[in-house]
A and B are shown apart, each in its own frame.
Chain A
Amino acid sequence: MHHRSFASARILAAMMAVGFMTIAPVAGQGPSAAASAAQAAEQPYTAPRTPDGQPDLQGFWTNQTYTRLERPDSVTTPFYTEEEVAAIEGRAATRESAQTEPGTIPDVHYDFTQFGLDRSQSTFARNLRTSLIVDPPNGKLPPVTAEGQRRAAEVAAARERRGGRWDAAENNQLDDRCIMMAGVGPPMLNTGYNSTYQIVQAPGYVMILVEMIHDARVIPLSAVGREPPPEAVRHWLGASRGRWEGETLVVETTNFNGKNPLRGSSDKMRVIERFTRVAEDTIMYRFTVEDEATWETPWTAEMPMRQIGGPIFEHACHEGNYGLYNTLVGARLEEQQAAEEAARPGRD
């Protein structure tokens, strides 16, 4: 059987398959300005076309990243140097593959690295940015409005009232309940692992299949622009419609049901995403979030998507969610045992 040599062969294969492209800073705004200016002077990449003439974004992509949404407090520049990023990735990789201390909570988990689910074994496009957020220029989310703060307090209070996490299935987070991954969005932030997308295009449509949890975003295209669904039709992922602006796919999403807030967003949130294939193996993914009920100004972020090999295997989460079931069973058993202990005669 192959398994004896599998581990070393696969590691070798994974090492050879790993690639990266440095996201060069915009000329004049950071290091290597001269290099990026020279790059811009070359012929910009033009994507091939689908049979019906759309720029071709098709394939399998990942937006795996080490870059945080917001700039760390200790960082004041918009770009790291190559060396700094390499060091950050190295430290993160060491953390991920280090053995946890036996008998501690972090040790009660399967080892991500054995299943290739850690970042250090992922393909990704290296990003020199110190934050995904590019606007506001400080790399941080804009100030929250009074209404946003009030809503955040209400949400926190409601969560308190619901009780403990293991009191009921619905007290858990959306991904534990296998309803959706928080990062699916839109905007599509990476999902920690399996942060994989498959894009398929047909006349009048772009489909983006998000691996977890097999969420297919079907985006209708129209030269004129399609009307959003009626107000009463609200979705976890909102309702999207797209159009091509030259080489860029622009997707507008509204009609969120507000049950998967993005950093406290409301159901009034409007997301505008832009997909541009900037190299054969890279799509630059940029999005703007508008939500006057939550933030004083819109904010914009950017992250590269790197082409990978497929496939996307079916991520049927709810069907296999034995973990949530087992945990609730265990919690009720522990309570029952504690109650029996307390009821035992002779206890003070």
Chain B
Amino acid sequence: MRTRYVLLTIAAAVAAAGLLLVVTPATAQAPAYRAPRAPDGRPDLNGIWQALNTAHWDIEPHAAGPSVVRELGTLSAVPGGLGVVDGDVIPYRPEALAARDENRANLLRRDPVIKCYLPGVPRGMYMPFPFQIIQSQQHIMIVHEYAGAVRTIYMDNHTEAPADSWMGWSNGHWDGDTLVVDTTGFNGMTWFDRAGNFHSDALHVVERITARSPETLLYEVTIEDPNVFTRPWQMSMPLYRRVEENAQILEFRCVEFVEDLIYGHLRKPASQ
């Protein structure tokens, strides 16, 4: 009787283990982090965040390299980076790759951010500046320190972009604990980084933002643009919370800083 009980128990345990092996996903380890809830019950993504990588230099893997401005020496030399593009290489169409390389050969004249133009999406999310997520039920705002760029994410009443813009038109929804942001309506004039990686006005970006710990977010992006790429592709990176007690978005109102660059050659000559 006792032996049968033990045998049955062992059998049950083995069966249960077998079920666990079958049912549990292979990647299961510790339970995923569950972010505190915002007052409306959604995951709370409020805070000031910033990327800590070299994606703003070049989203593909790259070695360190010299600055394009000789006088700045190491101040604008390019640090190496492991890249944030899944699969490492952006799947450009052949003619688009040539255009990217032409951008790369003419960075000083072509990079829109040099002229303090709005950074677009997703570049704004990994510029070396903090941004703030201000989350309400109807609208989630992303306020960037760089150039005071602003994104409105419409959480309900989704509509199409009325017109094209630099930061696109974003419709968001929750997929479990992940904020999914679907953005179209780009004007095609922004870049992905300082290395000439670009897109057209057909760009379609889907971002997935998930809290992965109290001080980090997981930021995953799918890029689609049939004019430029042979297929959709992804990038991903952590975003870090600015934890200083007085953390705040400051002004980086850069128009003033580039006025001479843009209009200086149109200044009235001194002789007249």
Direct touch of chains A and B (CB < 8 A)? yes
B39 at the interface (CB under 8 A from A): yes
Q: In the complex the two chains form, what is the Cα distance from A180 to B132 in whole Å?
A: 21
Q: Indicate if the CB atoms of B250 and A332 lie closer than 8 Å.
A: no
B77 at the interface (CB under 8 A from A): no
Chain B contributes a number of interface residues (CB within 8 A of A) equal to 43
Q: Indicate if the CB atoms of A318 and B138 lie closer than 8 Å.
A: no
**Chain B residues whose CB sits within 8 angstroms of the CB of A14 once the complex forms:** none
Per-residue contact bits, chain A 112-142, to B (CB 8 Å; 1 contact, 0 not)? 0000000000000000000000000000000
B167 at the interface (CB under 8 A from A): yes
Per-residue contact bits, chain B 130-174, to A (CB 8 Å; 1 contact, 0 not)? 001011111101010000111010100000001101110000000
Which of A24-32, A146-154, A207-215 lines the interface with chain B?
A207-215
Q: Indicate if the CB atoms of A207 and B259 lie closer than 8 Å.
A: no
A163 at the interface (CB under 8 A from B): yes
Q: Indicate if the CB atoms of A202 and B118 lie closer than 8 Å.
A: no
Q: Indicate if the CB atoms of A220 and B248 lie closer than 8 Å.
A: yes
Known A202-B46, A235-B251: A216·B141 in contact at CB below 8 Å:
yes
A236 at the interface (CB under 8 A from B): yes
Q: In the complex the two chains form, what is the Cα distance from A180 to B163 in whole Å?
A: 23
A9 at the interface (CB under 8 A from B): no
B109 at the interface (CB under 8 A from A): no
Which of B44, B118, B135, B152 contacts A316, CB < 8 Å?
Answer: B118
Known A214-B150, A328-B263: A51·B272 in contact at CB below 8 Å:
no
A101 at the interface (CB under 8 A from B): no
Which of B46, B256, B266 contacts A332, CB < 8 Å?
Answer: B266
Q: Indicate if the CB atoms of B251 and A236 lie closer than 8 Å.
A: yes
Which of B166, B253, B262, B267 contacts A314, CB < 8 Å?
Answer: B166
**Chain B residues whose CB sits within 8 angstroms of the CB of A203 once the complex forms:** 38-39, 44, 46
Q: In the complex the two chains form, what is the Cα distance from A203 to B38 in whole Å?
A: 8
Known A202-B46, A209-B141, A319-B117: A58·B136 in contact at CB below 8 Å:
yes
**Chain B residues whose CB sits within 8 angstroms of the CB of A180 once the complex forms:** 253
Which of A61-69, A75-83, A165-173 lines the interface with chain B?
A165-173
Q: In the complex the two chains form, what is the Cα distance from A204 to B48 in whole Å?
A: 12
Q: Indicate if the CB atoms of A202 and B136 lie closer than 8 Å.
A: yes
**Chain A residues whose CB sits within 8 angstroms of the CB of B135 once the complex forms:** 202
Q: Indicate if the CB atoms of A169 and B166 lie closer than 8 Å.
A: no
Q: Indicate if the CB atoms of A169 and B263 lie closer than 8 Å.
A: yes
Q: Indicate if the CB atoms of B134 and A200 lie closer than 8 Å.
A: yes
**Chain A residues whose CB sits within 8 angstroms of the CB of B46 once the complex forms:** 202-205
**Chain B residues whose CB sits within 8 angstroms of the CB of A220 once the complex forms:** 248
- A170 closest partner in B (C-beta): B259
B116 at the interface (CB under 8 A from A): yes
Q: Indicate if the CB atoms of A319 and B268 lie closer than 8 Å.
A: no
Q: Indicate if the CB atoms of A215 and B148 lie closer than 8 Å.
A: yes
Interface residues in chain A, defined as those with a beta carbon under 8 Å from any beta carbon in chain B: 50-53, 58, 163-164, 166-170, 177-180, 198, 200-205, 207, 209, 213-216, 218, 220, 226-227, 229, 233, 235-237, 239, 311-314, 316, 318-319, 324-325, 328-329, 331-332, 335, 339
Given A179-B255, A316-B166, 8 other A-B residues pairs in contact with their CB atoms under 8 A:
A58-B136, A163-B268, A167-B268, A311-B154, A312-B152, A314-B166, A316-B165, A331-B268
**A-B contact list, 15 entries, CB within 8 Å:** A51-B137, A166-B268, A168-B263, A169-B267, A203-B46, A205-B132, A205-B134, A209-B150, A215-B148, A237-B251, A311-B154, A314-B150, A314-B167, A318-B255, A335-B268
